[in-house]
Structure 1
Amino acid sequence: MKRIGVALPAIMIATAVHAQSSVTLYGKIEDGFNYTTNARGNDGYQMQSGYDYGSRWGLKGTEDLGAGYHAVFQLESGFDVNTGKMSQGGREFGRQAYVGIASDQYGTLTVGRQYDPSVDMFSPMTANGNWTGYLFSHPYDNDNTDYSFRVNNAIKYVTPTIHGFTAEGMYAFSNQAGGFSNNRLYGFGAQYQNGGLQIGASYLKLNNASSATVASANSSGAVTSDNTFNARSQQNIGIGINYTIGKALVGFAYSHVDVYDPTANAYFTGTTQPAGGTWNAWKFDNFEVSGLYHFTPALYLGACYTYTQASLSSTVGKFDPKWHQLSLKLNYDLSTRTSVFLEGAYQHAVSANTGTDFDFANIPGSADVSSGRNQMVYRLALLHMF
Structure 2
Amino acid sequence: MRKSKVSALLMAIGCSSMAYGQSSVTLYGVVDPALMFVNNAQVNKAGGVPHGAQQYALVDAWTSAYAGSRFGLKGIEDLGGGTAAIFTLENGINMNSGALGQGGLMFGRQAFVGLTNDSWGTVTAGRQYSSMVDYVSPTSSILQWGGYIASHPDDVDNLGMTNRQNNAVKLATPVWNGFSANALYSFGGVAGSTSQNQIITAAAGYTGGPLRVGIGFLSAFDPNISMWGSQPNAGGVTTNNLGSLGSATTPERNPVIAGYASAHREQIFGAGATYTFAQATLGLVYTNTRFIGLGSSSGPNPLGYSGSASFNVIEANASYRVNAPLSVGVSYSYTSASGPDANKAHYNQVNAGAHYSLSKRTDVYMVVAYQHASGVDSLGQPAVASITGMTPSASRQQVVDVIGMAHRF
Q: Same fold (TM over 0.5)?
A: yes
> Alignment partner for residue 397 of structure 2, among 374, 379, 384?
374
1:306-325 to 2 correspondence within 5 Å? 306-313=333-340, 317-325=341-349
Sequence identity percentage: 36
Residue type of the alignment partner of 1:285: N
2:241 paired with 1:214: no
> Alignment partner for residue 301 of structure 1, among 328, 331, 342?
328
Question: Which secondary structure does the structure 2 equivalent of 1:310 belong to?
Answer: strand
The residue that corresponds to 2:308 in the other structure is 281
Query: What is the CA-CA distance between 1:263 and the residue it aligns to?
Result: 7.5
CA distance in 2, matches of 1:353, 1:365: 18
Gap change, CA 1:216 and 1:320, over 3 Å in 2: closer
CA distance in 2, matches of 1:119, 1:166: 14
5+ long unaligned stretches in structure 2: 43-51, 242-256
Query: What is the CA-CA distance between 1:90 and the residue it aligns to?
Result: 1.1
Query: What is the CA-CA distance between 1:131 and the residue it aligns to?
Result: 2.6
**TM-score, normalised with respect to structure 1:** 0.89
The residue that corresponds to 1:269 in the other structure is none
> Which has more helix, going by share of residues?
2
> Alignment partner for residue 255 of structure 1, among 287, 293, 297?
287
Gap change, CA 1:353 and 1:125, over 3 Å in 2: closer
CA distance in 1, matches of 2:378, 2:267: 23
> Alignment partner for residue 340 of structure 1, among 353, 359, 364?
364
2:106 paired with 1:92: yes
Query: What is the CA-CA distance between 1:130 and the residue it aligns to?
Result: 2.8
CA distance in 1, matches of 2:96, 2:6: 50
Q: Deviations over 1:360-385 (max 9, x none)?
A: 1111122x211111110000011000
Query: What is the CA-CA distance between 1:232 and the residue it aligns to?
Result: 1.5
CA distance in 2, matches of 1:358, 1:192: 41
2:407 paired with 1:384: yes
Q: Is the 8 A contact 1:172 1:186 kept in 2?
A: yes
Q: Is the 8 A contact 1:53 1:132 kept in 2?
A: no
Q: Is the 8 A contact 1:139 1:323 kept in 2?
A: yes
CA distance in 2, matches of 1:292, 1:173: 39
The residue that corresponds to 1:160 in the other structure is 174
> Alignment partner for residue 93 of structure 2, among 65, 79, 91?
79
> Which has more strand, going by share of residues?
1
Gap change, CA 1:182 and 1:353, over 3 Å in 2: closer
1:1-386 to 2 correspondence within 5 Å? 7-40=9-42, 41-51=52-62, 52-209=66-223, 210=225, 211=229, 212-215=234-237, 230=261, 231-262=263-294, 273-274=302-303, 277-278=304-305, 280-313=307-340, 317-352=341-376, 356=380, 359-366=383-390, 368-386=391-409
Query: What is the CA-CA distance between 1:214 and the residue it aligns to?
Result: 3.4
The residue that corresponds to 1:223 in the other structure is none
Q: Is the 8 A contact 1:279 1:312 kept in 2?
A: no
5+ long unaligned stretches in structure 1: 220-226, 265-271
Gap change, CA 1:107 and 1:354, over 3 Å in 2: closer
Residue type of the alignment partner of 1:45: Y
Query: What is the CA-CA distance between 1:77 and the residue it aligns to?
Result: 0.9
The residue that corresponds to 1:268 in the other structure is none
Residue type of the alignment partner of 2:395: G
Residue type of the alignment partner of 1:343: V
Gap change, CA 1:355 and 1:77, over 3 Å in 2: closer
Q: Is the 8 A contact 2:339 2:378 kept in 1?
A: no
CA distance in 1, matches of 2:79, 2:120: 14
Query: What is the CA-CA distance between 1:8 and the residue it aligns to?
Result: 2.9
CA distance in 2, matches of 1:312, 1:306: 19
Query: What is the CA-CA distance between 1:357 and the residue it aligns to?
Result: 5.9
Residue type of the alignment partner of 2:151: S
Q: Is the 8 A contact 1:273 1:356 kept in 2?
A: no
CA distance in 1, matches of 2:67, 2:36: 15
Q: Deviations over 1:174-205 (max 9, x none)?
A: 11211211111001100111200000000000
Query: What is the CA-CA distance between 1:7 and the residue it aligns to?
Result: 5.0
The residue that corresponds to 1:267 in the other structure is none
Q: Deviations over 1:297-333 (max 9, x none)?
A: 21011001000000011xxx21111000001001101
**TM-score, normalised with respect to structure 2:** 0.84
CA distance in 1, matches of 2:311, 2:143: 18
Between 339-348 and 11-20, the greater mean CA deviation after superposition: 11-20
Q: Work out the number of aligned pairs and report it.
A: 366
CA distance in 2, matches of 1:250, 1:334: 25
Residue type of the alignment partner of 1:204: L
Q: Is the 8 A contact 1:337 1:385 kept in 2?
A: yes
Q: Is the 8 A contact 2:343 2:380 kept in 1?
A: no
CA distance in 2, matches of 1:354, 1:193: 37
Gap change, CA 1:73 and 1:149, over 3 Å in 2: same
Q: Is the 8 A contact 1:207 1:232 kept in 2?
A: yes
Question: Which secondary structure does the structure 1 equivalent of 2:97 belong to?
Answer: coil
CA distance in 2, matches of 1:358, 1:118: 31
